Structure 1
Amino acid sequence: MVFNQLDIHLQITAICVISSALICYTIGVWGERFQGQLKAWHLWFFVLGLYADAIGTGLMEHIAQLTHLHDTVHTVTGIIAICLMLIHAIWAIWTYFKGSLKAKQHFNRFSIVVWFIWLIPYCIGIYMGMSLHK
């Protein structure tokens, strides 16, 4: 498949936005893990990661429509991951404002699971992108 200039620019933008999601989400999840308790700044990084992932996913979907390149496994794992990120962000906000101290201290277990699941479509996307440009 040959990409035109528009496709390449969209792909670069999408990669940057999705990678920003990875950075934000990683800072939030592992910051929470290392600090041992859910804090307000973690929430900001969870939401920023979710926002960047949603934008990046929209850009990637647009690229898939333009190029007619779709991968079912990537699509399904991506939908699962973004839904889990949304649930995670909502639950984190609820836990921060309404949860007990114990809930705030143990929330990171769920965060790490969601983070690892999110990495699956991220890595599949990397593989797909590298496969296109051999």
Structure 2
Amino acid sequence: MLVAAIVIITLALVFYSIGVWAERIQRTLKWWHAAFFAGGLAADTTGTVLMSQIAASRRADGVAAGGLDQLMAITGLAAIILMAIHLVWAVIVLIRDRANEKAVFHRFSIVVWAIWLVPYVLGAAGAMIGGSAS
């Protein structure tokens, strides 16, 4: 289950990065960017659920959660919430179809993407040092 969670969360990184950076490069929000935001959100949510199940299984086996696990859980949840807000706001901007809103949306996207990287990097670091359920 761990390998599946890692692959899925890495897919989230790929999807979300493509959507955010393509939007930034093209300088205007398009529907296909929102589709990649949605793919990133879906993959990240799925991967996070799997990671949570792994952590719960470890706790059931008597393995205590460490500080890094708790930090990843908090930042991971915050990132998913921000990604969901980002996706909803992107859809609203696209429906309104105002050129100025679509042209500056990338500023919000970059911020959300950068915040999303925090739990991703924490998870990767935790896996490398072996002290985390990720």
What TM-score results when the alignment is normalised by the length of structure 1?
0.89
Task: Please give the secondary structure, in 2, of the residue aligned with 1:107.
Answer: helix
Q: 2:5 aligns with which of 14, 23, 48?
A: 14
**1:53-76 superposed Cα distances (whole Å, 9 cap, x missing partner):** 010000000000111253221111
- Structure 1: distance between partners of 2:119 and 2:39: 18
> Which AA in structure 2 matches 1:95?
V
Q: Aligned runs of 1:1-134 on 2, under 5 Å?
A: 10-68=1-59, 70=65, 71-132=69-130
- Structure 2: distance between partners of 1:27 and 1:83: 19
Aligned alpha-carbon RMSD (Å)? 1.1
**1:22-80 superposed Cα distances (whole Å, 9 cap, x missing partner):** 00000000000000000011011000000000100000000001112532211111111
Identical aligned pairs, as a percentage?
Answer: 45
Task: Please give the secondary structure, in 2, of the residue aligned with 1:37.
Answer: coil
**Deviation for aligned residue 1:96:** 0.7
5+ residue gaps, structure 2, are: none
5+ residue gaps, structure 1, are: 1-9
Paired residues, what number?
A: 124
Task: Please give the secondary structure, in 2, of the residue aligned with 1:48.
Answer: helix
> Which AA in structure 2 matches 1:124?
L
> Which AA in structure 2 matches 1:14?
A
